[in-house]
Amino acid sequence: MKLNFYRYDFDKLNASFVDVVQGLKGRITQWIEYENQFDKIIGWLTESENTLKSYGMRGSLEEKQEQLDRFQVINDQGNYSGVRN
């Protein structure tokens, strides 16, 4: 009788343990996704910062248009790469 009771308790404990392990695996997966997104954001921010720091006044309309095009490409990269939603 006691053996059945202990076996039942052990099975409950084992089931709880399996649930905890599955939950932890799910959280680890979420953390890895977070780190990947974080790395993308850091890369995009670094590139954007470097581009903005190299900003200089442009004399001609053509030079200004080229500069605007570069800034828009960086912005689009942020929009389409999942950096921004």
**Model confidence at 20, in pLDDT bands (50, 70, 90)?**
very high
- Span 30-47, pLDDT tens digits: 999 999 999 999 998 898
15-39 average pLDDT score:
97
Does residue 46 contact residue 74 with C-beta atoms inside 8 Å? no
Encoded tokens for 70: 């570069």
pLDDT at 85: 47
pLDDT of residue 82: 57
Beta strands in the chain (DSSP E): none
What is the structure's pLDDT at 77? Answer: 76
